[in-house]
Amino acid sequence: MFIYQDFCLKPFTTFGVAVEANRYVAITSVKDLQELYAEGELSKKPVMVLGGGSNILFTQHYEGFILACQILGKEILKETEDEIIIRVGGGEHWPSFVDEMVEKGYGGIENLSLIPGKVGAAPIQNIGAYGVEVKEVFENLDAFELKTGKTRKFNKSECEFGYRSSIFKTTEKGKFFITHVTFRLSKKPKLNLSYAPLKEAFAGRSVDDIFIKEVSEAVIQIRNSKLPDPEKLKNAGSFFKNPVVSEKKVDELKYLNPDMPVYPQPGGQAKLAAGWLIEQCGWKGKRKGDAGVHEKQALVIVNYGNATGKEILALANDIQKSVQQQFGIKLEPEVNII
């Protein structure tokens, strides 16, 4: 285990902004964390856990300690005729994990194909796509508490999952390093084709005749058609959350915008498409220097080359202001801003 000083983070975040961390270390085991804690390293400066860097925007150099999650490994804890329970290292690459499970016929996460990042970040964000959220297959997770050096297991209720949120983004933000995540996957999966793009992809076919690999492939094709590859055009995927509003607010907006897409939610609420709202404000394809809004998906802010974190954030703030002015809705960032 080697601790780097003034470490460049540009290659380790999908936004690719040129910032440095005061200190950086790759964590490959729980033992690494225990050693750092015992040596007092975790109490000297602010500490941040970095996964795949796919959901974070640095607006300045980080004057603290970056712990990069590189804990690998997969272990089947239980297997029956109907399901498997599998424990996965937090440093495993999420898209590769999904691909492997799909190939083996284990269902439940096929709609979450190609989402960038690492396994340990999945429950933090409660990642979701095309009608599925990771909480639906989540069993529990193991975490290391940075302040006390103790390990703890969190079950589903303790994680307090919400829309693109969990306890690790709210009251316990920054307090834990997620080392392993355990999932419950099905050998007899029930497909979720509720989202319009998937409905269209499988129109005219019986659900009983569709395989999870086909669903995964359709999701990948849809994502590739709408979202830029971070390897080719730096971005962090969806920059804003889709806002959830009351039925009253929907009625007000629908009166003036009859074509506005609306997705009903439990409790008399509805989810709106943030990308649609941004596009109506004229932002799609717009650019300010090297920071811009993607030409195919207005929900994605991109770095065309050398944009700074502050420039990307300034663009995001301008987008928020215009959506607030036109629709009376405040968009919340999905990306973590440092």
| Percent of the chain surpassing pLDDT 70 | 100
In 94-209, where does DSSP find H-type helix?
94-103, 122-125, 156-159, 196-201
Range of the domain at 210: 74-225
Write the CATH number for 115: 3.30.465.10
Mean model confidence pLDDT for the chain: 93
Same domain for 53 and 104, yes or no, is no
Count CB neighbours of 30 within 10 A. Answer: 15
Confidence of residue 44 (pLDDT cuts 50, 70, 90): confident
Confidence of residue 316 (pLDDT cuts 50, 70, 90): very high
State how far the Cα of 50 lies from the Cα of 68, in Å rounded to an integer. Answer: 5
- The total domain count for the chain is 3
State how far the Cα of 3 lies from the Cα of 24, in Å rounded to an integer. Answer: 6
Is the model's pLDDT at 1 over the cut of 80?
A: no
Same domain for 143 and 98, yes or no, is yes
Where among 42, 69, 96 does a domain terminate? Answer: 69
Residue 330 phi, psi (nearest 5): -95, 115
pTM summary value? 0.84
- Residues that are catalytic: 164, 238, 334
Classified as helix, coil or strand, 274 is helix
Q: Provide mean pLDDT across the span 217-225.
A: 91
Q: What is the pLDDT of residue 264?
A: 85
Tens digits of residue pLDDT in 169-213: 999 999 999 999 999 999 998 999 988 889 888 988 888 889 999
Write the CATH number for 56: 3.30.43.10
Same domain for 286 and 209, yes or no, is no
Q: Provide mean pLDDT across the span 290-294.
A: 96
Tens digits of residue pLDDT in 82-138: 999 999 999 999 999 999 999 999 999 999 999 988 999 999 999 998 889 999 999
CA distances from 334 to 54, 106, 286, 311, 328 (A): 11, 29, 20, 17, 19
State how far the Cα of 21 lies from the Cα of 45, in Å rounded to an integer. Answer: 11
Confidence of residue 9 (pLDDT cuts 50, 70, 90): very high
State how far the Cα of 331 lies from the Cα of 323, in Å rounded to an integer. Answer: 7
Residue 201 phi, psi (nearest 5): -65, -30
Same domain for 130 and 150, yes or no, is yes
Same domain for 182 and 248, yes or no, is no
More confident position, 169 or 266? 169
Same domain for 255 and 195, yes or no, is no
Same domain for 78 and 64, yes or no, is no
Tens digits of residue pLDDT in 151-160: 999 999 999 9
CA distances from 335 to 33, 293, 319 (A): 26, 15, 14
Q: What is the pLDDT of residue 219?
A: 94
Same domain for 51 and 86, yes or no, is no
Same domain for 63 and 79, yes or no, is no
